[in-house]
Chains A and B, each alone.
Chain A
Amino acid sequence: MIVMVCVDNQNGMMFNHRRQSQDRGLRRRMCEIAGNDDGKFWMNAYSRKMFTDSDTEGTHAQLCVAEDFMKQAASGDFCLLETEDPADYAANLEELILFSWNRDYPADLHFTLDLSGWKQVETAEYAGSSHEKITETHYIR
């Protein structure tokens, strides 16, 4: 599976069970990435609630919702993981797409996956709808 994760400058992901931030432009970008491969785009209902029709319009992303989506997703499927540390699923990850907000937020859930065995293959920076700079970095094993 190909996992997408958003982090802040301290690798934080959530605070008090709430996402640190969101960005309409980034949601659109996620759907475009997932849609390019006609892949299923898995997430839980918490994440799904954030997506609107305009995020997916014109893309081929197939949004799939399940609470145990990290168990259901097959090889090549895309997953948006917001509420758990990807390190918990390290063995199942084929690729990681890390989106950095480049800002500081409060956090009590952090990204702790050890990337020392991963290879960075692509990186890009762009502005989101409310973020001056979002950094997108792709890692493969």
Chain B
Amino acid sequence: MSAADTIDDEPPPPSAAGWTRQKIFGHALVGLWGLAGAGLVWFLATSWNTQLFEKYGPGYLSGLGVTLSLVAVSMVIGAILSVPIAYGRMSRNPVLSWLAYAYVYFFRGTPLLAQTFLVYYGLGEFRPQLQELGLWWFFREAWYCAIFAFSLNTAAYQAEMLRGAIESVPRGQWEGAASLGLHRLQIMRKIILPQAAIVALRPYGNELILMVKGSAIVSIITVYDLMGITRFTYSRTFDFQSYLWAAIIYLMIVETLRHAIEWIERRLTRHLKR
């Protein structure tokens, strides 16, 4: 009698199919989300008001522009500032590295809103001195103050990302390049940075998204970004849809950015896939 004879020919019992508890619960939750989405569409459709849209719609568009340019400008300035800070963090000079560490610790350890207040309201206390230096025109404007505070803040975060990415490249890469007779700057540009870019992409993308979301707080210091326009519209109309439209626009920006970053990451890591 062979082993095969002892095995029944019966098929295995059907898996516990049908409506398990998990399935019912999951469908109920998806149904709730569906209801919430339908409710949102219904609310926006029934409270649609062409007059309001014509009056405040263009404001939203300009607010969107303000938000995006604030984020773009601060990200670029922050990226430039982050290079010396990251250099300081990695330097062997204790004074330099301590200074850079203190900078990063301060800007990462305190709320962005408090930093913005410190710049916008706090520096106003030094108006005579700033006027003497000819800098008052800059710190008088909420817009410039916002860019100033946001750039300093994101520089701290970006410096840490840059440092992490550069340190993630193995030492052997430096040594190998040096043994080929490359100059330090050449090594950085041709060997280290291309490899660090892959590591840094995701944190940079996250920082970009965090900046888009964080930029909403400039509305508190009277900058009319997307959030500022929304608060202005709400204070005029007391119409809750003003907040809902802002939510939809922010979600669309963030989702677009997230998918764009994922696409870029797939492109950059093509050669690593098999």
| A and B pair up | no
Residues on A facing B (Cβ under 8 Å) = none
Residues on B facing A (Cβ under 8 Å) = none
